Amino acid sequence: MRLYDAASVLRSKNSGPFEITVDALFDDPAVYRRIKESGAINRERIAELYNIPPDHIAHIVFFDQALGFKVTFARKVSSGTFGDRDVYGAQQHAPLMEMEVDV
């Protein structure tokens, strides 16, 4: 199943001018738990999806109380500077949309 289909919310936003945060939230605790325990959300996979070095990923955090996870990584260019095509970081969840997850 695609992460887009498993999550009830999949969004991205700026985390300051130099980082992007992607959030995924789930309605079903069992689906959330399976994704968390699968280890599919990891630095190597996120780095591959976003074509960035793994050390550019600042955080991958799971929030059990919210049934969700957050990934924060460095932007390739800072928000609003020359070459920035998404000043708010609102379209950066797209690479995660097609990610296959075993639920």
pLDDT for 102 equals 81
Number of domains in the chain: 1
Strand residues in 3-80 grouped as ranges (E):
9-14, 19-25, 57-63, 68-74
φ and ψ at residue 6, rounded to 5 degrees: -80, -35
Q: Give this prediction's pTM.
A: 0.92
- Sorting pLDDT into bands at 50, 70 and 90, what band is 29? very high
Quote the CA–CA distance of 77 and 79 in Å, as a whole number. Answer: 7
29 is a domain residue:
yes
Strands (E), the chain: 9-14, 19-25, 57-63, 68-74
Q: How confident is the model at residue 103 (pLDDT cuts 50, 70, 90)?
A: confident
List pLDDT tens digits, range 10-26.
Answer: 999 999 999 999 999 99
Q: Is residue 102 one of the residues assigned to a domain? A: no
Residue numbers of the domain that contains 75? 3-97
Q: What's the confidence (pLDDT) of residue 66?
A: 97
Residue 103 lies in a domain: no
